[in-house]
Amino acid sequence: MESITINGTLRQDVGTKTAKLLRREGNVPCVIYGGEENVHFYTPAASFRKLLYTPEAHLVIIEIEGKQYKAVIRDAQFHPVNDEVEHVDFYELIAGKPVTIEVPIKLLGNARGVRNGGRLKVNLRKLRVKATEENLPGFIEHNIEDVRIGESVRVKDISVSGYEIIDIPERAILTIQTSRNAVDEEEEEESTEEGAEASAEETASTEA
């Protein structure tokens, strides 16, 4: 997992009125949980461009008035209309202590079912994982090239190493649905086999 450093300023007043004022000034109120005590601070909204609007999860180094905290994002709240970030919760990382975070899923390849005219329906774009700092993944990769029409990829199908996925094993991550233009995959296989046989016969005839 890659790290990104942001700078913050301690909040002296944690009331709602002060939080609104901070937002009007282009800042985001934040809290760090998980350590000896909760740390309330604020940071410019621009600090989250590479943290929240990215296909990867990151380790966050937070520098606040000479002190450094190592953390991960626990939760983020957005404005219901303009979608601007309004509040962010962090969880401080402690050596040897596992944490649970959401990690994006990165799908590799073009599914066979899609190549045959099916439609890819993605149900989950992130999974919750539990691990210590050194084993936290920035994203989870899964190859879907062999997934056919009517088949699904479930949480239990994801291979993991060094971390645990905290989600229902049978939950579908994606499904390849049939469509009006879908090709019958069994017919396609027969056609491919027949084509291969015909090609072999032509080759044998030419050589004779």
Q: What is the model's pLDDT at position 114?
A: 94
Number of structural domains the chain divides into: 2
CA 99 to chain centre: 16
Q: Is 10 helix (H, G, I), strand (E, B) or coil?
A: strand
Residue 125: inside a domain, yes or no?
A: yes
Residue 198: inside a domain, yes or no?
A: no
What's the pTM value of the predicted model, to 2 decimals? Answer: 0.77
Residue 192: inside a domain, yes or no?
A: no
Residue type (1 letter), 168:
I
Residue 197: inside a domain, yes or no?
A: no
124 and 141 together in one domain: yes
On whether the CB atoms of residues 153 and 166 are closer than 8 A, the answer is no
Q: In which domain, by residue range, is 61 found? A: 3-94
**CATH number of domain containing 86:** 2.40.240.10
Neighbouring residues of 178: CB distance < 8 A, sequence distance ≥ 6: 118, 119, 149, 150
Residue 66: inside a domain, yes or no?
A: yes
DSSP for 70-134, please give it: EEEEEEEEE-TTT--EEEEEEEE--TT--EEEEEEEEEES--HHHHTT-EEEE--SEEEEEE-GG
77 and 159 together in one domain: no
Q: What is the model's pLDDT at position 36?
A: 87
Note down pLDDT in tens along the chain; length 208 residues. 899 999 999 998 888 899 999 999 999 999 999 988 999 999 999 999 889 888 899 999 999 999 999 999 999 999 899 889 999 999 999 989 999 999 999 999 999 999 999 999 999 999 999 999 999 999 999 999 999 999 999 999 999 989 999 999 999 999 999 887 777 666 555 554 555 454 555 554 555 5
**CATH number of domain containing 127:** 2.170.120.20
8 and 88 together in one domain: yes
38 and 109 together in one domain: no
72 and 27 together in one domain: yes
Q: Is 204 helix (H, G, I), strand (E, B) or coil?
A: helix
Distance CA 81, CA 115 (A): 38
Residue 195: inside a domain, yes or no?
A: no
Residue 79: inside a domain, yes or no?
A: yes
Q: Which of 94, 127, 143 is the last residue of a domain?
A: 94
